[in-house]
Amino acid sequence: MTPSPRTIECLLPDHRRGRPRPSKQPPAEPQPPRPTGRVPRVSRLMALALRFQGLLQQGLIADYATLARLGHVSRARVTQIMNLAVLAPDNPET
């Protein structure tokens, strides 16, 4: 019984120029860069303030004291977080 022929493909350097031979496949499209690292804390707190503001405006939460109780933080901390909402630009959707 004779073994079946096998084909192996690989890129070999072009000894005349020192560069690999060009591939017959089209080049891959560049991927957009991925964000690295974590979201800064102030950004997360800003998002939380905007979320709290939305809950208050919708009437789902009565006041800052209720937010503090639900979040297991002090009312003063909720006030600090809500003060960040003053720094946010106006949302065109509201």
Q: Does pTM top 0.85 for this prediction?
A: no
Domain residue limits at 77: 40-88
Q: Is the pLDDT of residue 66 over 80?
A: yes
Q: How many CB atoms lie within 10 A of CB 46?
A: 16
Query: Residues 35-58: what's their mean pLDDT?
Result: 91
**56 close to 70: Cβ distance less than 8 angstroms:** no
Asked whether residue 71 is assigned to any structural domain, the reply reads: yes
Asked whether residue 7 is assigned to any structural domain, the reply reads: no
Asked whether residue 82 is assigned to any structural domain, the reply reads: yes
pLDDT tens for each residue of 69-86 = 999 999 999 999 999 988
**CA–CA distance, 29 with 21 (Å, rounded to integer):** 20
The number of distinct structural domains making up the chain is: 1
**50 close to 85: Cβ distance less than 8 angstroms:** yes
Asked whether residue 11 is assigned to any structural domain, the reply reads: no
Asked whether residue 14 is assigned to any structural domain, the reply reads: no
**CA–CA distance, 55 with 45 (Å, rounded to integer):** 15
Positive or negative CA dihedral for 12, 13, 16, 17? positive
Query: Residues 47-58: what's their mean pLDDT?
Result: 94
